[in-house]
């Protein structure tokens, strides 16, 4: 499902986050018939009477015109899923190696917006937590129509965060989610692996399903720069080093893969799904990974 409509370059040209979310999701769903995920959509099963205060997305207005009563279409896979999306705003998420690519934080915001749109489109509840060294903003999980506006309002103004304390943040959030559901983490995962994994384990201990999108810049993966390059530690201002990546690229990639292999292995051991993304990756695989997770929870 390599649809060019879902590439970061196309998405970034839209500007408005509501348009980005809608194009990503609607474009993805239009392409499902060409993919292994065709048929994921819930099939209509029956009607039930509308209860005031519920989302109106599935009201059958033709039936209302005939009966003067509000009825909802009930779908066979209706699950009342509650999802909380965690977006990393730490300083390392403000990196990009190429001005044609989005910041890692921007890429994460686009993906979070699309996932929120998709969740609410399926009448599920979605909440949001942004964080750096500590939780920054929270939007409690709800399934109301206005919820997308509340989520996008926060995602449109993500701050330039400070350092990373991912482990403590995950513990903090795990204690504050009142009901079991799905936790979606969007982060570069650049922190002490043991602390991060312990935080993810906390969610599993409380009965949550966990889906992690690790968002990295392509050059963080391969270190393929030309000539001498000056690197700056984004979370330690003033700390710089100059080197020629060609001389150390192989060692760097071995160390990077060892770190990521540890994350993969420990996530599998804790039954946490981790999806590896770069800011040059089209968004369809991420949305497909979410749908796979949701189907297993149904």
For the purposes of burial, counting CB atoms within 10 Å of the CB of 271, is it exposed (0-12), middle (13-18) or buried (19 or more)? exposed
Could you list the residue range(s) of the whole structural domain that residue 53 is in?
44-75
Is residue 101 included in any domain, yes or no? yes
Please tell me whether residues 55 and 109 are part of one structural domain: no
Please tell me whether residues 279 and 171 are part of one structural domain: yes
Residue 32 has pLDDT above 80, yes or no: no
Is residue 59 included in any domain, yes or no? yes
pTM (two decimals): 0.81
Is residue 57 included in any domain, yes or no? yes
Q: How far is CA 271 from CA 137, 173, 219, 265, in A?
A: 28, 19, 29, 10
Please tell me whether residues 53 and 107 are part of one structural domain: no
Is residue 129 included in any domain, yes or no? yes
Please tell me whether residues 175 and 48 are part of one structural domain: no
Is residue 39 included in any domain, yes or no? no
Q: CA 27 to CA 143: how far, in whole Å?
A: 22
**Arithmetic mean of pLDDT, 253-272:** 94
Please tell me whether residues 134 and 248 are part of one structural domain: yes
C-beta separation of 104 from 111 below 8 A = no
Please tell me whether residues 60 and 82 are part of one structural domain: no
Q: CA 210 to CA 257: how far, in whole Å?
A: 22
**Arithmetic mean of pLDDT, 110-114:** 95
Please tell me whether residues 143 and 267 are part of one structural domain: yes
Place of tokens 């720069």: 225
| Among candidate residues 150, 107, 158, 88, the one with its CA nearest the CA of residue 125 | 150
Please tell me whether residues 194 and 159 are part of one structural domain: yes
Q: Give residue 233's region: left, alpha or beta (phi > 0; psi -120 to 50).
A: beta
Sorting pLDDT into bands at 50, 70 and 90, what band is 239? confident
Domain holding 20: CATH number? Answer: 3.40.50.410
Is residue 114 included in any domain, yes or no? yes
Please tell me whether residues 110 and 49 are part of one structural domain: no
Please tell me whether residues 266 and 149 are part of one structural domain: yes
Q: How many CA atoms lie within 13 A of 155 on its CB side?
A: 30
Please tell me whether residues 194 and 214 are part of one structural domain: yes
- Structural domain total, the chain: 2
Question: 42-51, 61-70, 85-94, 244-253: which has the minimum mean pLDDT?
Answer: 42-51
**Residues with Cβ < 8 Å from 142, sequence gap 6 or more?**
125, 126, 127
Please tell me whether residues 58 and 192 are part of one structural domain: no
- Could you list the beta-strand ranges (E) of the chain: 44-49, 71-75, 82-88, 125-131, 135-142, 182-187, 209-216, 229-232, 240-243, 273-278
Q: How many CA atoms lie within 13 A of 111 on its CB side?
A: 36
């Amino acid at each position: 499902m390599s649809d060019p409509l879902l590439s970061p370059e196309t998405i970034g040209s839209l500007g408005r986050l509501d348009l980005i979310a809608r194009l990503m999701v609607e474009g993805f769903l239009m392409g499902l018939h060409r993919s292994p995920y065709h048929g994921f959509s819930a099939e209509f099963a029956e009607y039930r009477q509308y209860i005031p205060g519920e989302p109106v997305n599935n009201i059958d207005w033709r039936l209302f015109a005939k009966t003067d009563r509000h009825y909802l279409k009930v779908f066979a896979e209706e699950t009342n899923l509650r999802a909380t999306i965690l977006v990393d705003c730490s300083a390392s998420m403000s990196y990009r190696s190429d001005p044609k690519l989005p910041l890692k934080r921007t890429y994460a915001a686009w993906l979070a917006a699309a996932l929120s749109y998709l969740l609410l489109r399926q009448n599920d509840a979605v909440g949001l937590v942004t964080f750096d060294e500590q939780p920054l903003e929270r939007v409690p999980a709800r399934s109301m129509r206005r919820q997308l506006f509340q989520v996008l309002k926060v995602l449109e103004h993500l701050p330039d965060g400070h350092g990373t304390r991912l482990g403590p943040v995950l513990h903090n959030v795990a204690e504050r989610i009142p009901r079991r559901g799905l936790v979606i983490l969007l982060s570069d995962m650049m922190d002490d692996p043991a602390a991060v994994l312990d935080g993810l384990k906390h969610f599993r201990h409380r009965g949550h399903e966990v889906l992690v999108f690790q968002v990295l810049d392509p050059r963080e993966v391969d270190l393929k720069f030309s000539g001498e390059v000056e690197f700056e530690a984004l979370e330690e201002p003033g700390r710089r080093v100059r080197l020629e990546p060609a001389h150390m690229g192989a060692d760097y990639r071995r160390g990077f893969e060892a770190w990521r292999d540890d994350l993969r292995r420990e996530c599998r051991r804790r039954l946490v799904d981790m999806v590896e993304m770069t800011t040059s990756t089209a968004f369809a695989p991420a949305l497909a990974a979410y749908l796979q997770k949701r189907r297993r929870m149904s």
